[in-house]
Amino acid sequence: MDADFFPKWKSQVKKGTLTLIALNTLKGQEYYGYELIEHIKRNTELEIAEGTLYPLMNRLKKEGLVSSKWIEQESGIPRKYYALTKAGEQVLTEMNQYWKELDKSIQKISR
């Protein structure tokens, strides 16, 4: 067996679930980019480059799942805040539901 197999597989799963993690983080709470990343890192091990989150948020915005707005700060350097849209909430519910079903099937199979 390739000794790297498990770490590689893990990082694939993480990449694949980043969308789910980011959307769940935004549930009921707005975050600006850096804060969002910090929050995700506090709760899960984020092993990818932090910057990857920005193109992802951009894509989610284009899909209409999140909205964003720039808010001026006293520091002179504004923050871009992200929030879930109504459509985003709906899809997220379905995504979480699917995740549960997947988890159930895996448990059944691996029993």
Partner 1 sequence: MSLDFLNLNQAESKRLYGDYVKEIKNVISELPKNDQSDILMEFNSHIFEALKKDTTDNEADRLASVLDRLGKPSNVLKSYIADKNLQQATKTFNPFHIIKALILNVYNGISYSIFILLYLFLFSFIYLIFAKLLYPSEIGLFVSKSSFRLGTLDSDNFPYQEILGFWFIPVMLLLIVLFYLLITFFLRLKQNATSKIKYKLKSD
Asked whether the CA dihedral 93, 36, 55, 65 is positive or negative, the reply is: positive
**Residue (of 12, 7, 18) closest to 50 by Cα position:** 18
Does position 87 interact with partner 1 (CB under 8 A)? The reply is yes
Does position 78 interact with partner 1 (CB under 8 A)? The reply is yes
Q: Are 65 and 91 in contact (CB under 8 A)?
A: yes
Please count the residues of this chain forming the interface with partner 1, following the rule CB under 8 A.
28
Among 76, 107, 109, 111, binds partner 1 (CB under 8 A): 76
Tell the smallest beta-carbon distance from residue 110 to partner 1 (Å).
Answer: 27
DSSP, residue by residue, 17-36: HHHHHHHHHTTT--EEHHHH
**Residue (of 58, 66, 73) closest to 29 by Cα position:** 66
Does position 58 interact with partner 1 (CB under 8 A)? The reply is yes
Does position 63 interact with partner 1 (CB under 8 A)? The reply is yes
Binding site for partner 1 (CB under 8 A): 32-35, 37-38, 48-52, 54-55, 58-59, 63-64, 70, 75-80, 87, 90-91, 94
